[in-house]
Structure 1
Amino acid sequence: WTGLDRAAPTRVWMSHGDKVASPPPGFTVTGSTQTLQVAAMADEARKIYAVQFHPEVHHSVDGERMLENFLFKVAGCTPDWTMASFVERAVAEAAEKVGDRHVVCALSGGIDSTVAAALLQRAIGDRLHCIFVDNGLLRLNEAEEVTTFLREHFHLNLTVVDARERFLSLLKGVEDPEKKRKIIGHAFIDIFQEEAEKLPHVDFLAQGTLYPDVIESVSHKGPSAVIKSHHNVGGLPETMKLALIEPLRELFKDEVRKVAAELGMPDSIVWRHPFPGPGLAIRVLGEVREERLDILRRADRIVQEELRAAGWYRKVWQGFAVLLPLRTVGVMGDGRTYENVIALRVVDSVDAMTADWSRLPPELLARISGRIISEVKGVNRVVYDISSKPPSTIEWE
């Protein structure tokens, strides 16, 4: 059913943590690895096929071809799905679900939440109320830049909530990354519910949740592990009063970019690097304090500037700085220093399910490192993360 020569090997992406001990009656093994006997199996008589691996991710070399063969040759589907048809369906489904009620949308200025807001605005118009929360965990000047851009380019009902002190107070003394994520998720929901109470008939919270967020945050069946709690998914409190509406929940990031292009959004939105919902809280490893956030903001701004100047911003999936919870000895001028370490994380990916570290030119890495050490007070060492996903995640926390 794969349409491939079964004698020829192909590379796929999977976890060996789970396994099928033996095929059920009627099934034969159609794919295996050196360490996994049942990587794929089929019951040709009943037309039932199963795979252990992820054919949908970029690093499964023939995965897209397998899916196409199954859908078109076995299931008899017609390949008439387009981004235009997705937009039409998403707008219609949102309009039907919301009815005559109102929606608050958690808007960050990133592509996911912006596309979600644009779809919902088409569906319900002025009954969409967008809320941008300045949680104090954003990048340098990001709150001002994002809100100005959104107001100038999109005709949205936009409310800006200054919650910087609130979030930093809640995070005081917290070092565990899962606790950080859940604290931030709960605080966001509390703010959205508070804002919703000021509006008429608000019953829904809209979010830009994507499929990888769902996969990595929720264990749907059996003992499969949760990789991390995404604040849109695993970090939501049980007491939340608003129902969720997530028009992008079944899409990957590259598909969201195609939707954005279909909606006519500018390249600055379409190609903006992903930014995590918990913000810099999970890039400041350990306790989140304002002085550490300030160091990271200034280092990260240099990373963004240099990637753009060198023409690499559009070439990579994501690039950012991480502030490590340690200090090292250095020499600056005639004196000894004992300062912080910045890690650079730059990766290539298509869907964020898998990623590889970007082979940046040595002169670009040298320029980024030199600028951070000379311009950011409190940093005397820069390291480059050369880990791939898996086994490492893209974010450090």
Structure 2
Amino acid sequence: MTDSSTPPADDAPVPENPLPDGANVDEVVVLDFGGQYSQLIARRVRECGVFSELLPHHVGAEEVRRRKPKGVILSGGPASVYSPEAPPLDPELLNLGVPVLGICYGMQLLAKELGGRVESAEVGEYGRSQLTVHDHGTLLKDQPDEQPAWMSHRDTVYTPPEGATALASSTASPVAAFEAPDRGLYGIQYHPEVVHTPYGQQTLQTFLRDICHCDLDWSAANIAEEQIRLVREQVGDGKVICGLSGGVDSSVAALLVHKAVGDQLTCVYVDHGLMRKSETEQVEKMFGEHFQVPLVVVDAKKRFLERLKGVTEPEAKRKIIGTEFIRVFEEEALKLAVGEQPSAEGTETHVSGDVAVEGARFLVQGTLYSDVIESGGGTGAATIKSHHNVGGLPDDLTFELVEPLRALFKDEVRAVGAEIGLPERMVWRQPFPGPGLGIRIVGGEVTEEKLDILRECDSILQEEVRAAGLYRELWQSFCVLPDVRTVGVQGDERTYGYVVAIRAVTSDDAMTADWARLPYDLLDRVAGRMVGEVREVNRVVLDITSKPPGTIEWE
């Protein structure tokens, strides 16, 4: 048994290769056996300079062979190799003629398949452990004899497969690493992909460079021109629509496509009135003026507030905001596609640049590789469903998707954004929920007054966090406005004002998060400004709940 995630189901969809046909890059396939760090393995391989793709464990050797990989990595997983439900190893994977590296459960699968001895240990090995290297071989060359490593397993390899050399041991693992170079087989019990294994990245790099003979030249930044070329080939002289949210994903996707096809692209930005202070103006200035991207800004604030009137239940708010956004975008996109003047009912529009997309059949989406992994999504012509980034359009609204970011993780998208000239402020923009400030007004109705209060307080927090040089260290920082009023004293008078909660967290992937230890003097400045500058507020509190047990957002 290893780490505690869940293996992909045997009927889980197989994502299409996010790389376009004919892409001239070395690739390593990571097979996911349910390890909680599987996606991180793929990211670490990319950090070494090699493109990696994460596939479900059940895809089979033929599907892997189609990728023409230079190597295969078997991830960890939660099962015991002797469990009847344990994900099996396809033996044909060992006959592809490329090196195979098993990590944790993947190593145990290799050992068992090849005749080694794997048994359940009396004591599991979890967390930091001490690795002792007895024979460096190729995999562990140039590494110290003693080093820390992160373990997460109960089953243990006691004897390596015949013909394999045991390289290392640990406190509870007689064989913590082995290799059989003549067969191209390698195994490590520890997790090289986590920061708690300081020589883990070196191990991966050795496997990629010296064993798989990969060229370590992959980077997100150097594929920008290639993506521009591919978009140009896909679109030709066609017209393109992009749903622009102002977030980093849609912004980078829009800018790449604009560099490819120029004014054939029109972006549609729906202002639902739930954005942060000055955000709509920033988007319009950045895209409509600075980059000169044809842009339709739809002012739908009144429409959204009307739909949200009297609604207090959080999930109902989410559904109303999501559905209404879809309806507005749908109406605008359809009018653009048929050449009608944009302006959905209950909205006003402002147009920057020449909007000429009659007959548009392409839709840009900021789909990332993490979306591809989770959905098993395909490419090409597609009817847009609710899992797509625009938010879920009707079944009968069909565009051919343009997804220039679908091979990239979030951090790689930021690198591309910086490469193509997106300002740092937008490249490193913290995540912001689709329903916006509507879900940060907690326990009460969303009103214009509350939105204004929350916008002002959030603006103060962001300004002070940036001034303190902490913005990029935080995963998210924001304010919450509960439907609570408290007694206060301001100017020798009794007040009955709103409470504002500050929420700031650190995280790598938002799956878990720790509350950020903001400096006291920063908190003092923020609270002082909020109660001094926003007269409806008389109390500021700090949320110090981690995830789990809490969530990052309150609703």
> Fold-level match, TM-score > 0.5?
yes
Counterpart amino acid of residue 241 in structure 2: V
Name whichever of 191-200 and 173-182 sits farther off: 173-182
Deviations, residues 278-316 of structure 1 (Å, cap 9, x unaligned): 221222224422222111111111112222333333443
**1:255 Cα deviation (Å)?**
2.0
- Of Structure 1 and Structure 2, the greater strand share is in 2
**1:148 Cα deviation (Å)?**
2.2
Gaps of 5+ in 1: 1-11, 222-229
The match for 2:79 is 20
Gaps of 5+ in 2: 1-35, 40-76, 83-87, 90-108, 112-117, 128-151, 158-175, 337-356, 378-385
Residue 120 in 1 paired to residue 257 in 2? yes
**1:178 Cα deviation (Å)?**
4.4
Deviations, residues 298-349 of structure 1 (Å, cap 9, x unaligned): 1111112222333333443432212124344444455554433212122334
Residue 172 in 1 paired to residue 330 in 2? no
Counterpart amino acid of residue 253 in structure 2: A
Residue 192 in 1 paired to residue 348 in 2? no
The match for 1:305 is 463
The match for 2:438 is 281
SS of structure 2 residue aligned to 1:320: strand
Name whichever of 294-303 and 309-318 sits farther off: 309-318
**1:203 Cα deviation (Å)?**
2.2
The match for 2:154 is 37
SS of structure 1 residue aligned to 2:126: coil
Name whichever of 170-179 and 35-44 sits farther off: 35-44
The match for 2:360 is 202
> Contact 2:253–2:403 at 8 Å: present in 1 too?
yes
Residue 362 in 1 paired to residue 520 in 2? yes
Per the normalisation by structure 2, the TM-score is: 0.57
> Contact 1:14–1:53 at 8 Å: present in 2 too?
no
Supply the distance in 1 between the matched residues of 2:238 and 2:245 (Cα, whole angstroms): 23
SS of structure 2 residue aligned to 1:140: coil
Name whichever of 371-380 and 37-46 sits farther off: 37-46
The match for 2:273 is 136
Question: How many pairs does the alignment contain?
Answer: 374
Supply the distance in 2 between the matched residues of 1:39 and 1:187 (Cα, whole angstroms): 54
Supply the distance in 2 between the matched residues of 1:354 and 1:141 (Cα, whole angstroms): 30
**1:369 Cα deviation (Å)?**
0.9
Supply the distance in 2 between the matched residues of 1:281 and 1:232 (Cα, whole angstroms): 21
Residues 72 and 341 from structure 1, CA distance in 2 versus in 1: closer, same or farther, beyond 3 angstroms? farther
Supply the distance in 1 between the matched residues of 2:310 and 2:421 (Cα, whole angstroms): 44
**1:205 Cα deviation (Å)?**
2.6
Supply the distance in 2 between the matched residues of 1:264 and 1:119 (Cα, whole angstroms): 10
The match for 2:417 is 260
Residues 302 and 122 from structure 1, CA distance in 2 versus in 1: closer, same or farther, beyond 3 angstroms? same
**1:69 Cα deviation (Å)?**
5.2
The match for 1:343 is 501
**1:177 Cα deviation (Å)?**
4.1
Residues 47 and 185 from structure 1, CA distance in 2 versus in 1: closer, same or farther, beyond 3 angstroms? farther
The match for 2:392 is 236
> Contact 2:221–2:415 at 8 Å: present in 1 too?
no
The match for 2:534 is 376
Deviations, residues 196-218 of structure 1 (Å, cap 9, x unaligned): 33232222332334455667xx5
**1:137 Cα deviation (Å)?**
0.6
Name whichever of 270-279 and 329-338 sits farther off: 329-338
The match for 1:8 is none
> Contact 1:39–1:53 at 8 Å: present in 2 too?
no
> Contact 2:220–2:408 at 8 Å: present in 1 too?
no
The match for 1:269 is 426
**1:367 Cα deviation (Å)?**
0.9
Name whichever of 179-188 and 259-268 sits farther off: 179-188
Supply the distance in 1 between the matched residues of 2:288 and 2:156 (Cα, whole angstroms): 50
The within-5 A match list for 1:83-122 is 83-122=220-259
Supply the distance in 2 between the matched residues of 1:345 and 1:119 (Cα, whole angstroms): 33
Counterpart amino acid of residue 88 in structure 1: E
Percentage of pairs with the same residue? 51
SS of structure 2 residue aligned to 1:33: strand
Say which structure, 1 or 2, has more relative contact order (CA 8 Å, 6+ apart). 1
**1:220 Cα deviation (Å)?**
6.1
**1:36 Cα deviation (Å)?**
5.7
Residues 366 and 38 from structure 1, CA distance in 2 versus in 1: closer, same or farther, beyond 3 angstroms? farther
SS of structure 2 residue aligned to 1:387: coil
- The higher radius of gyration belongs to 2
**1:119 Cα deviation (Å)?**
0.6
Residues 142 and 328 from structure 1, CA distance in 2 versus in 1: closer, same or farther, beyond 3 angstroms? same
Residue 323 in 1 paired to residue 481 in 2? yes
